[in-house]
Amino acid sequence: MAKELYQEDATTLARMLAQRQVTAEAVLRSCLARIAEREPQVQAWEFLDPEAALAQARSIDQGAQRGLLHGLPIGVKDLFDTFDMPTTYGSSIYTGQRPGADAACVAICRAQGAVMVGKTVTTEFATFKPGKTRNPHRTTQTPGGSSSGSAAAVADGMVPLAFASQTAASVIRPAAFCGVVGYKPSYGLINRAGVKALSDPLDTIGFLARSVDDVALFAAASNGERTAPDLTSSGTPRIALCQTHEWPHADEDTRAAFAHSEAALDKAGIPLRHLQLPLLFSQLLQVQKEVMAFDLARSLADERLRHPAQLSEGLSQLLAQGLLVSTDRHRANLQLAVSARAMIPSILGDADAMLAPSAIGEAPGAAQTGDPVFGRIWTLLGLPCVHLPFFRGHSGLPVGLQLIGRHGEDLALLRIARSLLPMLAAH
């Protein structure tokens, strides 16, 4: 049976659209029909205007090829400004806010021919208070945070691509819980102008899709590239298996995924070694928490001072904790992060990438967003990460691992991720 258009991945759709085998309007209508069918259960969207999206698609169909994302429907996390849709940052403080401009990456993707379908649900200021979105695999469970709506929308076939962002683990964890590919680039690779600032040393634009090729295409387009990246792998990658100092948090499902990956990659002839991080790295989880809290208390100063009654209790407590971190402590934390980052090349040695946990295990219940414990240190270090979905936990929900590379070597990491995923997914 032929696939519906909404079931195709972005790379396939991009090729079909470029060859005029399908129209942008036809692709969008398929996605809108899927949204109409599933949105009452999944609730991935903060804002939708189907007629405005259809007008975008018709305009694209009437013109010349615009770019890498020509005619592709995209979900925009509600942390990203959009000139033609409300942007609320997941908070009632900003209900109905209409920014005057797009976030830089949104504007660039429009110029690349993308159709901005709507705004996907985010948690309160991309922190830890759950939004309304449910996990499409089981609606009693969380899709994760803070890129909850984006991950759920991609996983459920509502859109092939969606913007995400990560300050702790908000690309990788939702990708893990929803069973999609999540890509957090190297810190600073994607321009953040027009995305609500939370922590300058941590905030990173990310991408959610259903294949490694798709996130690579999306990221390249978001940087204004005019040609799709070549993910052809050269040679056999060397992988370091890294359980991290946070391994005691991993449940049986993540442990099983880790054991499966070691066996599958070994069988495929991939050179493996176990990597023990230096003792210094055991401090990084707390360092990231303090850096994030310090910055949030200041970046959300207006909201904290003028609208305290509209902040959740959890966020208010987090901001209060941030105010207790001294400037000297913050400076020392940032220096420690710099020192740890400088150690990465020697830690990796001859390994091309590390394979490490993405989340504790399967998605927990919808009253929470899950613990970001396995994402925090990599965000602090600014390293590129790709979540690989290839496993199911004890109750049938998605589980996977993340591949982590050297800062700035994103293309090499994406090539490795693309080559390893079929090996990991083979049972």
| Spatial distance between the Cα atoms of 36 and 312, rounded to a whole number of angstroms | 31
184 is catalytic: no
Q: Which helix (H) or strand (E) holds 54?
A: helix 50-62
Residue 33 identity? A
Q: Tell me the HSE value of 368 on the side-chain side, using a 13 A CA sphere.
A: 8
Contacting residues for 54 by C-beta, under 8 A, at least 6 apart = 25, 28, 29, 32
Q: Are 159 and 396 in contact, with CB atoms under 8 Å apart?
A: no
Kindly report each contact of residues 247-252 with a partner whose C-beta sits within 8 Å and lies 24 or more positions away, as own/partner: 247/357, 249/360, 249/371, 249/373, 249/374, 250/357, 250/360, 250/361, 250/374, 251/360, 251/361, 251/362, 252/361, 252/394
Left if phi > 0, otherwise alpha if psi is -120 to 50, otherwise beta: which for 316?
alpha
| Spatial distance between the Cα atoms of 137 and 160, rounded to a whole number of angstroms | 17
Of the residues 148, 165, 170, 261, only one is catalytic, namely 170
Of the residues 77, 129, 184, 196, only one is catalytic, namely 77
Q: What are the start-end ranges of the E strands in 129-276? A: 161-166, 181-184, 204-209, 239-241, 272-274
Inter-helix orientation angle 410-425/212-222, to 10°: 160
DSSP summary character for residue 136: T
The residue behind tokens 């700035």 is: 408
148 is catalytic: no
77 is catalytic: yes
Of the residues 146, 147, 165, 299, only one is catalytic, namely 146
Active site residues: 77, 146, 170
